[in-house]
Amino acid sequence: MRSRQTRTAVLGALSIQPMTGYAMREAIRTTLGHFWSESFGQIYPTLAELEQEGLVERGEGTRTGSSTFALTPAGRAHLRTLLADPPQPDPPRNGVLLRLFFGRVLGPEACADLVRDARDRAERQLAGLAAERTDTDHTAHADDSPYWLLTISAGEHAARATIAWADETLATLATLAAEGHGGEPPTSSKETP
């Protein structure tokens, strides 16, 4: 059985409106992008499974060979069950922190570059979320939008936290660099001088 969380995302997307597999990927990428991701490799097999189980219905698409999927009543009931399941924790993987942890090998300046990049990304995300926030306010789905705004708010809190941490960290790294904890000698110098 495919992961329950992917099924949740797929059924949830169809609970907003019927759509094709490709459209679903786009919707997930643009709207859920800051906290979720699915790839074709999951979406299509999952839709096929759900069709087998009678939880979604396949309809004609606009193009030959394409299909639009819609939620059946059974599918809607199943979605409620899935949403009530406890969330599965996903293993964290933060490439910036991994590099920073071994920062002594890399040196303070390179670490600072890394942190500045992360800060920039957070700023851009904050701007993107602000745009989404106004979009959501102007869009029709009045019953859903309060919940959508909660997820946007989560992204904003996280981004602001990243920015605050980055500023603190840059200050710390500056003093580290000044004190001459300059990391390991660069490759030009010998191991045994």
Interface positions with DNA (CB under 7 A): 1-3, 5-6, 20-23, 37-42, 44-45, 61-67, 91, 93
By beta-carbon proximity to DNA, the closer residue of 11 and 163 is: 11
190 makes contact with a copy of itself (CB under 8 A): no
User: Which of 92, 53, 69 is CA-nearest to residue 10?
Assistant: 69
When binding is defined by CB under 8 A, the residue of 89, 134, 140, 188 that contacts a copy of itself is 89
For 21, residues 6+ apart whose C-beta sits below 8 A from its C-beta are 40, 43, 44, 47, 67, 69
Per DSSP, helices labelled H in the chain are 4-16, 21-31, 40-52, 73-84, 95-101, 103-106, 108-138, 145-178
Window of 26-34, 45-53, 61-69, 132-140 that interacts with a copy of itself by CB under 8 A = 26-34
Least distance between DNA and beta carbon 5 (Å): 7
By beta-carbon proximity to a copy of itself, the closer residue of 51 and 109 is: 109
Q: Which does 101 bind (CB under 5 to 8 A by kind): DNA, a copy of itself, none?
A: a copy of itself
**Alpha carbons 47 and 45: distance in angstroms, whole number:** 5
By beta-carbon proximity to a copy of itself, the closer residue of 44 and 99 is: 99
Residue 36 tokens, joined: 């979720």
Residue 98 tokens, joined: 């991994």
**Alpha carbons 88 and 187: distance in angstroms, whole number:** 44
Residue 87 tokens, joined: 């969330």
100 makes contact with a copy of itself (CB under 8 A): yes
Q: Which does 67 bind (CB under 5 to 8 A by kind): DNA, a copy of itself, none?
A: DNA
137 makes contact with a copy of itself (CB under 8 A): no
